[in-house]
Amino acid sequence: MSETIKHSVIKGGEFVIKETPYNEVFIPEEFDEEARMIRQTCLDFLEAHVLNNLESIDNQQEGLMEDLMNKAGELGMLGVSIPEQYGGFGKNFNTSMLVTDAVGGGYSFAVALSAHTGIGTLPILYYGNQEQKSKYIPKLTSGEWKAAYCLTEPNSGSDANSGRTSAKLNEQGTHYLLNGQKMWITNGGFADVFIVFAKIQDDKNLTAFIVEKDFGGITMNPEEHKLGIKGSSTRQVFFNDCPVPIENMLSDRENGFKIAVNILNIGRIKLGAATIGSSRTVLSTAIKYANERIQFNLPISKFGAIRYKLAEMATRLFATESAAYRAGQNIDDAYEALVSSGMDESKAKLKSVELFAIECAIIKVWCSEMLDYTVDEGVQIFGGMGYSAEAPMERAYRDARINRIFEGTNEVNRLLIVDMLLKRAMKGELDLMGPAQTVASELMSIPDFAEPDSSPFAAEKKVLANLKKAGLMIAGAAVQKLMMSLSKEQEILMNIADIIGYVYVAESVLLRAEKLEKTQPGEHADAAKQMAKLYLYGAIDKVHVAGKEALYSFAEGDELSMMLMGLRRFTKAQPFNVKAARQEIAKKLIEENKYCF
């Protein structure tokens, strides 16, 4: 209990200005036996029902996806985090992340399940009144009803609040009549319940409604033909005077945009978890192939170029996994603290995720790009067979691409990372300018030539602290120089977001490695240390490039020279033999014939 209270004082975004002790983070190795059993149930389900049916799923065999969802519901996979009173298991947020991770290797099935359990179900669970929750949540939890989320319109993608779907109260005052068009609706072809966003009269903001398919006035276009996730039902949905009872308004009038934003925060971090599971499957498949494929009388896993790829894939996966479950536990700890303070449980669920919206955006971006790197290198390891539809990499490659668009494009999420951080600073929730001014003063001082600390991870922690200084220096200077116009400088904002994101992921994997060395010493901890150092080493270069590009964009003269000098100082590190580290990581993967971390 004391650990939970300690954890709960951590603020979202605070990692930028604060050093986090290793004992204040959760690492995946700490999941209890029950959580691991739930995860294994999901993996067994994929093995038994999904992975041997991929062609039929991709061809959208009539009734197959619905049947799979029914089977998943019978096993409780649709209700892991749903309260027991509605038929769920009532597990915490991080356990639901673990389930999303496990199912992530299920290709199109993972998309259908995630849409149903996330954006389809959670708006009712978190924003519905008692009658709405009692009516809908048990059926969604069991799989009797399937859910879809109708937000996007042809002319409103990232700008969701500009949607034109309208809701007009009928003359009797009993129903709202919905009229409009929604597109890219996952599960649209078989959903029984739709969460629909529309505007009432001249309202500025959207209002949300719970719409049953049987209400009438709903038509659909044929299934979309997509690059990937072909087995996922994706359709345009049209509402033509669709009558929705007034009691099916979700939350308050004009609260729809807030619902959409908060649910998308959850969707972002859950998408990150799903890509982790998908990456784990892809990497294990690549390792097995590298051990089996013979060239020049040797398995290709013997060659340095292949080992480089395997080690780099594993390192990026291990690092982003560290960040995802760190943030997931932060959300759980914040929830417990909010409930303890007297907040309603549903409000606390939403508020806890909102508090870590910055981390959710980082995880969405870094995990989806990690998966793209992994599948691309997976195709390369398979060589010509990687390009063949007869081999597994082709489907994985195509299916991965959507994740940089889902739940807000990665470009939008990068802009949000900085925007949310600066807004919290302006509200006084985070003191960014104080540390930024301290760093600016440090530029004029003599560098610290003190004897280095010889304790484990001390050198890496110093590098990490300096990377944070680089980010604070550049962000602080950009705010002072550009002020209100900074919001229009998207390239600079994305440079700053890259620095923030690499810092968060590098710190997460470093803390995981430190905690493992302190609590579970051995081969696994040794490998974690190598991966943490390797990821940090790569992050140094990424931060340097992003920082240089940002500074070149707004600074000049002596100011530019001074900050470039500071950037060089803050991105220095002792030499590290990256080849030897990768060789050690790859050796372990090859011996285990799978991703084993």
Q: How many helices (H) and strands (E) does the chain have?
A: 20, 10
Q: Which residues of the chain are modeled with pLDDT < 50?
A: 1-8
DSSP one-letter code for 180: E
| Helix, strand or coil, per DSSP, at residue 69 | helix
Choice among 153, 312, 336, 407 that is catalytic: 407
**Cβ of 225: how many Cβ atoms within 10 Å?**
7
The pLDDT assigned to 451 comes to: 64
CATH, range 413-447+455-592: 1.20.140.10
In whole angstroms, give the CA distance from residue 77 to residue 104: 13
Confidence (pLDDT) at 452: 64
The DSSP result for 398-460, as a single string, is HHHGGGGTTTS-HHHHHHHHHHHHHHHHHTTSS--HHHHHHHHHHTTSPPP-PPPP-STTHHH
| Helix (H/G/I), strand (E/B), else coil: 199 | strand
Domain ranges of the chain: 2-146, 149-250, 256-412, 413-447+455-592
Q: Which residues pair with 177 in a beta bridge?
A: 168, 243
What's the CATH fold of domain 149-250? Butyryl-CoA Dehydrogenase, subunit A; domain 2 (2.40.110)
d(CA 482, CA 467): 22
256-412 against 413-447+455-592: fold identical: yes
In the annotation, is 407 catalytic?
yes
Name the token pair of 521: 């010493």
CATH T-level fold of 2-146: Butyryl-Coa Dehydrogenase, subunit A; domain 1 (1.10.540)
CB 307 within 8 Å of CB 69: no
Per-residue pLDDT at 6: 43
H-helix or E-strand containing 175? strand 175-186
Contact 514, 22 (CB under 8 A): yes
Place of tokens 């604070």: 472
pTM: 0.95
The CATH number assigned to the domain with range 256-412 reads: 1.20.140.10
pLDDT digits (tens, 9 = 90+) for 540-594: 999 999 999 999 999 999 999 999 999 999 999 999 999 999 999 999 999 999 9
